[in-house]
């Protein structure tokens, strides 16, 4: 005898099986008394459930009138929900825009700094042509105090320049990534909740 088909019996009983699955269940039922009894119990249960009758509404017309009386004048909730939903979907778009802006700003800044250090921007105003020297005052101070000298000082200056240039960019990128991942987590949680039957209000 083939394997019991208990897991498919409800779908079979409800007429939801088709094709090979339907054939397999029918073939099994023909030879399995246990599954036949289970199918019979589904019939019995359904009969029992249908003993509970829905009462007649006293007056359907009065029901419609009551609903009419309670209807608010304006259909406002939907438009509010729409705005909220629109705002919700604008969050990742906004984060993406900020990310593009931040990266563009830093790329332009790096190009200008490099160009400045190469002397390409020598004719431009001082505020634009910022040199790396202004970024190493901490290392310079340490050097003046005699803590570092020679190669050590040069390494410290390089590290400080690199940190000063990269830290804001890295921090911003991390912040944007954290915000985006948070949005993604909330989106996923909402989706899972909906799938598990926590239905949204209509």
Partner 1 sequence: MEQYSVATISTEDEAVLILRAQNGERNAFSELVRIHTRGVFNVVFHLCGDALIADDAAQETFIRAWQNLSSYRPQTPLRNWLYRIAFNAGMDMLRKEKRILPNDIDEMELHDERSGPETLVSQNERVRMVQKAVLSLPDASRAVLVLREYEGMSYSEIADALDIPIGTVMSRLNYARKLLKETLAPKLTVPAEADYVQTR
Considering beta carbons, is residue 127 or 200 the nearer one to partner 1?
200
Give percent helix, percent strand, percent coil of the chain, each to the nearest 5.
75, 0, 25
CB of 5 to partner 1, least distance (A): 12
CB of 33 to partner 1, least distance (A): 17
Asked if residue 97 binds partner 1 (CB under 8 A), the reply is: no
Is 25 in contact with 14 (CB distance < 8 Å)? no
Considering beta carbons, is residue 36 or 116 the nearer one to partner 1?
36
Nearest to 4 by CA among 27, 185, 98: 27
Q: Which of 10, 34, 144, 166 binds partner 1 (CB under 8 A)?
A: 10
CB of 91 to partner 1, least distance (A): 20
- Count of positions on this chain that bind partner 1 (CB under 8 A): 44
Considering only residues 120 through 159, tell me which ones interact with partner 1, judged by CB under 8 A. Answer: none
Is 61 in contact with 29 (CB distance < 8 Å)? no
Considering only residues 46 through 85, tell me which ones interact with partner 1, judged by CB under 8 A. Answer: 46-55, 57, 60, 63-64, 66-68, 70-72, 75-79, 81-82
Nearest to 162 by CA among 105, 113, 122, 99: 113
Q: Cα-Cα-Cα-Cα dihedral of 69, 72, 77, 78, to 10°? A: 70
Residues in contact with partner 1, shown as a per-residue x/- string from 11 to 40 under the rule CB under 8 A = x--x-x------------------------
Phi first, then psi: give them for residue 198, nearest 5 degrees: -80, 85
Q: List Cβ neighbours of 42 (8 Å cut-off, separation of 6 or more).
A: 9, 10, 13
Distance CA 186, CA 166 (A): 30
Asked if residue 41 binds partner 1 (CB under 8 A), the reply is: yes
For residue 44, give Cα distances in angstroms to 6, 28, 39, 50: 16, 21, 9, 10
Considering beta carbons, is residue 76 or 134 the nearer one to partner 1?
76
**Residues within the interface to partner 1 (CB under 8 A):** 7, 10-11, 14, 16, 41-42, 44-55, 57, 60, 63-64, 66-68, 70-72, 75-79, 81-82, 194-197, 199-202
């Amino acid at each position: 005898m083939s394997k019991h088909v208990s897991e498919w019996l409800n779908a079979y009983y409800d007429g939801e099986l088709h094709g090979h699955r339907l054939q397999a269940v029918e073939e099994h039922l023909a030879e399995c008394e246990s599954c036949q009894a289970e199918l019979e119990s589904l019939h019995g249960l359904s009969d029992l459930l249908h003993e509970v009758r829905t009462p007649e509404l006293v007056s359907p017309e009065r029901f419609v009138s009551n609903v009419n009386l309670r209807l608010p004048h304006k259909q406002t909730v939907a438009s509010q929900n729409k705005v909220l939903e629109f705002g919700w979907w604008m969050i990742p778009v906004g984060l993406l825009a900020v990310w593009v802006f931040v990266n563009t700003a830093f790329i332009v800044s790096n190009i200008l700094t490099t160009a400045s250090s190469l002397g390409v921007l020598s004719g431009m105003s001082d505020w634009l042509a910022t040199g790396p020297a202004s970024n190493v005052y901490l290392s310079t101070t340490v050097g003046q105090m005699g803590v570092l000298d020679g190669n050590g000082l040069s390494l410290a200056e390089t590290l400080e320049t690199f940190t000063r240039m990269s830290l804001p960019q890295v921090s911003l990128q991390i912040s944007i990534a954290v915000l985006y991942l948070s949005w993604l987590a909330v989106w996923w949680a909402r989706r899972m909740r909906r799938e598990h039957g926590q239905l949204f209000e209509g």
